[in-house]
Amino acid sequence: MFLKYKLSFIALLVFYFSGFAQTTNRPYVLVLGVAQDGGYPHMGCTNICCISAWKNPALQKTVASLALVNPITKKWYLFDASPDIKKQLNDFGKQTKNAFPYLPEGIFITHAHIGHYTGLMEFGREVMNTKKLNVYVLPKLKSFLEENGPWSQLVKLQNINITALQADKPFETDEIKIIAFTVPHRDEYSETAGFEIFTNAKKYLFIPDIDKWNRNIIEMVKKVDFAFLDATFYSTGELGNRPISEVPHPLVTETIKLFENEPAGNKSKIQFIHLNHTNKLLWDKKAQKSFLSTGFHLAKQGGIY
C-alpha cells in the first residue's frame, strides 16, 4: 500500500514539474516551434549543421510559432500559421492532454513570408474545410489574402474570417489584450507585425522577424515578462556565398551587445526564436553553453512561459 501511494506521489510530482500543471489556472504561452521559415533540418542542407538532425528526428525543430492558452475559458490562440501547422496542432493537443479544442479560437499572423502564413492552406476544403476560423492581420495583409489565390478562396468559401487589426491599437478578446505594431522587414506582399500580448498573469513580446531593431527594444523588453525575439542568424558569413544583406536581421551578437549593460533580470526575459539552420545556437552544444552563460535564453520548443 505504501509503495502504491509513493508511486502515485512521484507521478504527481513529475506531472507538476513538467510545467503544464503549474499553468492550468492562468493564461500562458506554449512554444510550438523555434526555427526559421524552412524549419530544421533545412531542405537541401547536407552540411554539418543539418546532418545530425536528418539522422535523428528528436533533434528536428518546427517553424517559429506560439500558442496563447487560456485554461479558464478553454480557448487558445495561435501566433503565425507555419508550414508545420499540422504537426504543431497535434503537438499542442498531446501536450495539453486534449483539454482544448483542436482548432484555435483565432490566429494572429505577423506577415506574408512562407514560414508565417502558408499554414492557412490547411483550413481549405482540401483538408480541414473550417467554418469562419478567425484570422487577425494588419490591413495590407488582409487585402493580400482577400485578393490573391489560393488564399482568396479561403475567404470566398468562408473557411476563414479575416479581421483587420489597427497598428498600435489594443485588440481585446477573451480577457486578453493584443497590440500589433509594424516593424521594418522585406514587405513584398504585406507589412510586418510584432505583437505585444497582455494577460492577467504575464506580458509577452513576439518579434520573430525584423530587419534591424528600430524601436526602443530595450524599453519594450523592460515592460514584459518574456520577449521572443528574432535570432535568425548568429553572425555574418553563415550563408556562404549568398550576401546576408539580402535577408537582413539583427544578429544574435548584435542583440547581445545592445543589452550588455542591462541588468541580468532584463537579459533573462529574452527568449531567442526563429533560428536559421545555419545558426550554431540551434545545433552546436558548445556554442549553446557559452551563449547561456551570458544570461540570455533560447526559446524551447514545447516550453511553457
Cell of 220: 519594450
Instruction: For the beta carbon of residue 168, count every other beta carbon within 10 angstroms.
Output: 10
Give mean pLDDT in consecutive 10-residue pieces for the chain, a chain of 305 residues: 41 42 77 97 95 96 98 96 98 97 98 97 97 98 97 98 98 94 92 97 97 92 98 85 77 95 96 97 96 96 98
**CA–CA gap between residue 191 and residue 181 (Å, rounded):** 10
The reported pLDDT for the residue numbered 24 is 63
pTM check: above 0.75: yes
Report CA Rg, the chain. Answer: 20
What single letter denotes the amino acid at residue 123?
Answer: F
Instruction: For the beta carbon of residue 236, count every other beta carbon within 10 angstroms.
Output: 11
- SS3 string, the chain, reads CHHHHHHHHHHHHHHHHCCCHHHCCCCEEEEEECECCCCECCCCCCCHHHHHHHHCHHHCECECEEEEEECCCCEEEEECCCCCHHHHHHHHHHHCCCCCCCCCCEEECCCCCHHHHHHHHHHCCCCCCCCCEEEEECHHHHHHHHHCCCHHHHHHCCCEEEEECCCCCEEEECCEEEEEEEECCCCCCCCEEEEEEECCCCEEEEECCCCCCCCCHHHHHHCCCEEEEECCCCCCCCCCCCCHHHCCCCCHHHHHHHCCCCCHHHHCCEEEECECCCCHHHCCHHHHHHHHCCCCEECCCCCEC
CB-CB contact of 226 with 271 (8 Å): yes
**CA–CA gap between residue 255 and residue 189 (Å, rounded):** 27
Q: Which residue has the cell 500589433?
A: 180
* Contacts of residue 17, Cβ cutoff 8 Å, sequence gap at least 6: none
Q: What is the pLDDT of residues 226-235, one digit of tens each?
A: 999 999 999 8
**CA–CA gap between residue 162 and residue 75 (Å, rounded):** 18
The reported pLDDT for the residue numbered 9 is 41
**CA–CA gap between residue 116 and residue 120 (Å, rounded):** 9
Domain boundaries, the chain: 26-298
CB-CB contact of 111 with 185 (8 Å): yes
The reported pLDDT for the residue numbered 11 is 41
247 phi and psi angles, rounded to 5 deg:
-130, 70
The reported pLDDT for the residue numbered 21 is 44
Pick the CATH number of 26-298 from 3.60.15.10, 3.40.50.880, 3.40.50.720, 3.40.50.300: 3.60.15.10
What single letter denotes the amino acid at residue 221?
Answer: V
What single letter denotes the amino acid at residue 258?
Answer: L
In a 13 Å sphere around the CA of 16, the CA atoms on its Cβ side amount to 6
The reported pLDDT for the residue numbered 135 is 98
